[in-house]
Amino acid sequence: MSENNNISANCKTQKTQMANSFDLSKSVTSPNQINYGKTLQPGQNFGRYVIQEELGSGGMGIVYKAYDQKLQRTVALKILQQLRDIDANRLRTESLAMAQLNHPNIIRLYEFVISPLPHITMEYIEGRNLQDLIKQKKIKPLFLINLMIAICDALAHAHKNGIWHRDLKPSNIMITKSGEPKVMDFGLAKIIDSEQELSTSGQVVGTILYAAPEQLKQKVSNKSDIYSIGATIYEALTYQPVHEGDTFYNLYFQIQNDDPIPPRQLNPEISPYLEAICLKCLSKKEKKRYNDFQQLKRELKNLKNNKPILAKKYTYWDSLKNIGRRHKTLCISITTVVSILTLSFIVTFYTLQQVKEEKKQLASLAKAMMEFTKNIQENNNYNHILSDPKIVKPLAEFFNQSKKMKNTKQYKFLRGIIFSQDSRFRKHAIEEYTAQIKQEPRNKIAYNNRAYTYSLLGRHKEAINDCTKAISLDPKFLDAYDNRARAYIGFQQYSKALDDCNTAISSNPKFTKAYVRRAYIYNALKQYSKALNDCNTAISLGTKKIIIYAYRAYSYNALKQYPKALNDYNTVISLGSQDYKDYNNRGDLYLIFNEHQKALQDYKTVISLNQKSYVTYNKIGNLYSHAKKYNKAINHYSQAIVLNSRYANAYSNRGLNYALLQEYKKALDDFNKAILLDPQFSNAYANRGDVYNHLTKYKKALDDFTKALSLGLKNWKVYYSRGGVYFNLKMYSLAIKDWEEAIIQNYPQPNKLKPLILRAQKKLK
């Protein structure tokens, strides 16, 4: 059944109709002849409506699917079950609330009348409610996020119009067959600044499982609806309610006092960020929830688009704080005792052991560090400690925080090395080396190391100056030549970088660093055979670094020696590479060998290492498209577009998949966007031409195919398609010419094309 999308509800018109049908200022009274509580049967008439089936029932009334004979449309018909003032007021409140709202994600109200029984008619939705999907455990995170974004927009609209729902729950959210949510059942709504108030003294409004703590105390606010949405998200994520209990009072106590079990403890696969948003909505204190639904909507959009969010991830510290809050007295007592004991121990230990132990420990540490420092200074070989972040990061933290070490001369050298390896402390490394140079103006190692750090900071000019100074102090200082070559590469001054590498190699033919650096330069200059020779030399000299195999793989790939390139990328990854580019390049090679599943796995790894790689999302989309999983392909192209809204290739590819799904309007929109971003995009013109051709807009198709050919896309597909357009436009000689050109361009089945050519030739006669 359709959703009657062509029917638009006008609030003023609806209010006028209701006022003419029913006096909203009075409670309902019923004639004696009306029988309440009887269920209507399919085929039975109710006024101008024909009952088709019962959709559901509650304490207030029964909802039917019915056919409106006057307006010839299917509606949802809610009829009171019994004549009670409270039910009539609820029905009236629901009507007033819905009459003020006009939003695509809120069920539309058509009419409210009193005869033959008080009832309202609403938009009928063909679909299921969210509660059904929760029971079936068929909710995916992205679907839920998109669903909640739309619902938040609808509720923001309601709140803006002064309507608080007060009974939000999964069963009150309908989902159409196209996946669009519709909020319904405003029977408990509160109309702000209105005297129409549903609850009486002592009456709790809303369904308790989804009611906020303050709502249970009859102190409802706009943030009560946000709590209810949080409870709905929680249930959709975990497939169980926030709290469970056998009685009203049991649930009441839990909602007021107990914290929800964090969703990830029930299902570790839930996103920690989505969990954070859910728990922020469920905060017992209103001020800790989102300010309004607009803010929550932005939060969900930011989560979807991988942008920062306001909500903080739930941690073990949060768990401890919650335990402390629930058991405040006990925790205070334990903390007091532990604090007293700890303080006593510290004072005693400090008094008795401080001098003795501190001297002993510092002496031992100083001796070990001095020997270590002396060793790496003499051998100038500390690469083994720089390759392990487990060593570098703790040492960097230690040196940064230790006041004693800060002023100890013998550690300055090591401090500089460690600081240079951690991006957080590289400025500290510069300070360390500068202090060393000030004390020892002829310290070539300090100049060289400061140059290396300058390069890491992108300050290549300063790096070149320091390397030049180090070389002037020692013309055979090979590391300084290598570092200066690195700095020249930063300026793309490849000839100067090559000179330094050549000087280092001529001085020491076994200096592997220079071969590795020169291999990079040759690859950058597209001199792949020379790069390959340097890689092989470095490896033969015993270099086993990931980088050299990556450079050689790049060279092999450029020389189209694909099996060797693939073998090297396998080596790179087996050595533990965490560089997403290596996985990306191996994935590209797998495509050449038609190993699509392996390529897909590598591209997914790329995303896990670099979530902003929009090009990789596009590649994954291509793989899903090749597998005819067009919806999955579209999702990945869409993610690429989210990351880069000017990525024309993703628009064109998404448009092609929309076309394959026969969603031609969306396809045309995407092709238009791709061409707007890149007016020379020949494939986009060809693809748009195919859509116009399918829609029999032959002149537009002809223009696009001609444009694609003029831009250099001279393949058989375009000639074949344009030939078909010419034929449909009765331009037979041009059709023949294009089809003959398609055969020249290697049309795969020329024997099937020849009958078309003969047919066109007959038309010419």
Q: Which of 105, 124, 143 is the last residue of a domain?
A: 124
**Same domain for 21 and 65?**
yes
> How confident is the model at residue 438, as a pLDDT?
87
pLDDT at 614 over 60: yes
> How confident is the model at residue 18, as a pLDDT?
32
**Same domain for 117 and 174?**
no
* pLDDT winner (highest mean) among 47-61, 415-429, 632-646: 632-646
Domain assignment of residue 102, yes or no: yes
Nearest to 122 by CA among 34, 196, 58, 183: 183
Domain of 89, CATH number, reads: 3.30.200.20
Q: Taking residues 156-170, what's their average pLDDT? A: 86
pLDDT tier for residue 423 given thresholds of 50, 70 and 90: low
pLDDT digits (tens, 9 = 90+) for 644-686: 999 999 999 999 999 999 999 999 999 999 999 999 999 999 9
Domain assignment of residue 594, yes or no: no
**Same domain for 311 and 358?**
no
**Same domain for 170 and 231?**
yes
Domain assignment of residue 265, yes or no: yes
Q: What is the DSSP letter of 13?
A: H
**Same domain for 295 and 212?**
yes
Q: Which of 284, 309, 326 is the last residue of a domain?
A: 326
Beta strand pairing status for 119-123 and 73-80? antiparallel
Domain assignment of residue 704, yes or no: no
Domain assignment of residue 468, yes or no: no
Domain assignment of residue 640, yes or no: no
**Same domain for 99 and 192?**
no
pLDDT at 693 over 60: yes
pLDDT tier for residue 523 given thresholds of 50, 70 and 90: very high
According to the 3-state scheme, what is the secondary structure of 426-482?
A: HHHHHHHHHHHHHHCCCCHHHHHHHHHHHHHCCCHHHHHHHHHHHHHHCCCCHHHHH
Domain assignment of residue 746, yes or no: yes
Q: Residue-wise over 737-763: b if at least 16 C-beta within 10 A, else e?
A: bbbbbbbeeebeeeeebeebbeebeee
Domain of 267, CATH number, reads: 1.10.510.10
Structure tokens at 137: 């455990």
pLDDT at 355 over 90: no
* Residue position matching structure tokens 């100056």: 465
pLDDT tier for residue 372 given thresholds of 50, 70 and 90: very low
Query: Could you give the dihedral angle defined by the CA atoms of residues 717, 720, 726 and 732, in that order, rounded to the nearest 10 degrees?
Result: 160
Q: How many CB atoms neighbour CB 42 within 10 A?
A: 12
Please check whether residue 658 is in contact with residue 634, taking contact to mean a CB–CB distance below 8 angstroms: yes
**Same domain for 175 and 253?**
yes
> How confident is the model at residue 392, as a pLDDT?
44
Question: How large a percentage of the chain has pLDDT more than 70?
Answer: 74
> How confident is the model at residue 300, as a pLDDT?
93
Q: For residue 50, what are the β-bridge partners?
A: 45, 67
**Same domain for 263 and 362?**
no
Q: Taking residues 550-559, what's their average pLDDT? A: 94
Rounded to an integer, what is the distance from CA 748 to the centroid of its chain?
41
Q: Which of 124, 154, 171 is the last residue of a domain?
A: 124
Q: Taking residues 741-757, what's their average pLDDT? A: 88
pTM listed for this prediction: 0.49
Taken in order 580, 581, 584, 589, the sign of the CA dihedral is negative
* Lowest mean pLDDT, pick from 120-129, 352-361, 498-507: 352-361
> How confident is the model at residue 10, as a pLDDT?
31
Domain assignment of residue 598, yes or no: no
The chain-wide mean pLDDT, for the chain, equals 79
**Same domain for 347 and 252?**
no
**Same domain for 150 and 208?**
yes
Tally of domains in the chain = 4
* Lowest mean pLDDT, pick from 84-88, 158-162, 444-448, 758-762: 84-88
**Same domain for 189 and 315?**
yes
Please check whether residue 444 is in contact with residue 420, taking contact to mean a CB–CB distance below 8 angstroms: no
d(CA 531, CA 521): 8
Q: Taking residues 140-164, what's their average pLDDT? A: 90
**Same domain for 213 and 257?**
yes
Nearest to 552 by CA among 510, 583, 516: 516
Write out the residue range of the structural domain in which residue 250 sits: 128-326
pLDDT digits (tens, 9 = 90+) for 401-414: 444 444 444 445 55
